[in-house]
Amino acid sequence: MVNNFSRSTSFNRRALNVESPRFLSIPSPRALHVLSPKPLGFASPRVHHRLAWVSHLFPVLLLIGALISFIIVLGGGYMYVIPSLSQAFLGYDVLKFNDSSNVCDFFYGSWVIDDGYPLYNASECPFAEQGFNCLGNGREDKDYLKWRWKPKNCDIPRFNVHNVLEMLRDKRIVFVGDSMSRTQWESLICLLMTGVEDKKSVYEVNGNKITKRIRFLGVRFSSFNFTVEFFRSVFLVQHGWMPRHAPKRVRSTLKLDKLDDISNEWINADVLIFNTGQWWVPGKLFETEKSRRFCNVTQNPLSETEGRDQSIFSETIFEVIKNMTVPITVLHVTSMSAFRRDAHVGRWSDNPSIPDCSHWCLPGVPDVWNEIFLSYLLADYELPVVNGE
């Protein structure tokens, strides 16, 4: 979820980044069968069938209801936490840019080879987590680094680091979410560092190493007087452990009417990038039957998304967003990311015994998310978005 705002008119829109199953998405019904209770005894086959159907449907409705409540509460929470949103107006859109006589839909296109990529070397970026540095962890093929997203009717503006650094001068950029959010946070820092001459002028404000075990990380670009911060909040709302008399399969509780207790730390941010979804799954919320992980990383992008670009929950989320008082622009990167089975971490992490087909290699797909996001900000900031080469 990408929401940006500011006290100035330069950042006066909000955007929602939906990247299934990572950005405000819900698992498919196939993943929910593990929540079904055992069938009751002394019932006819027809009753068994009906009970099984209801037991499969209930978790789906439960999660849909939870997410709808969460989105509504989150929007209401913005009004309380962020004073500048008190003047918000009703708005909803899918991010598009005008390209001469055509309207550019950034999210309808294909991946093409581009020798101008990657945009940085993760081994030379001290803020790229070791677990996401696939080349540094032994991946030998480099083909996955050379793909650029090409919308059908236009091009994503080439990344111009100098324009971006100037745009972010004196600003505070805050990422809030889970490990996917941290990956995008690291990607943005590595992209920005390519335009900084004195690398030592970029540092973590508390001297911490980049790790998932720390709830707050902040990197300061002192030459430009701005910070890029990360707050770990996997649900965005308040999280508690299993109540005393709860069923045994319940692992934790979520207070959908209350933002995370660190939400006060987000006040006065000029740009807020929210992310949630990866933890809204049965294995995180309930005790389930653990299954073995299968992870097939390909050498090239898929020619078809194999249905992974679709979700029965997406339309529900969009309908809720349309009626929110906070203006939101949807950055729907689900489809474009679904092609990139080749770009997952796989076995090239800092823990190769556990294959990882959730997270992305750096450099990689999160860089493209940031390119689109920064292009949107640059257009709003009225700076040129073309490369000044």
Residue 54 lies in a domain: no
Residue 180 lies in a domain: yes
Amino acid 278: pLDDT:
77
Supply the range of the domain harboring residue 273.
115-243+253-381
Residue 352 lies in a domain: yes
How do residues 319-338 score in pLDDT, each as one tens digit? Answer: 777 788 876 666 778 789 99
Three-state SS string over 267-288 comes to CCCCEEEECCECCCCHHHHECC
User: Which pTM does this prediction carry?
Assistant: 0.75
- Total domains present in the chain: 1
- Cβ-based neighbours of 88, under 8 Å, separated by 6 or more: 14, 78, 79, 325, 326, 327
Residue 218 lies in a domain: yes
Distance separating alpha carbons of residues 241 and 354, to the nearest angstrom: 26
Residue 44 lies in a domain: no
Residue 91 lies in a domain: no
Residue 7 lies in a domain: no
How do residues 146-163 score in pLDDT, each as one tens digit? Answer: 999 999 888 888 999 999
How do residues 12-55 score in pLDDT, each as one tens digit? Answer: 333 444 343 333 333 332 222 222 222 223 334 443 444 444 44
Q: What percent of the chain has pLDDT over 70?
A: 65
Residue 369 lies in a domain: yes
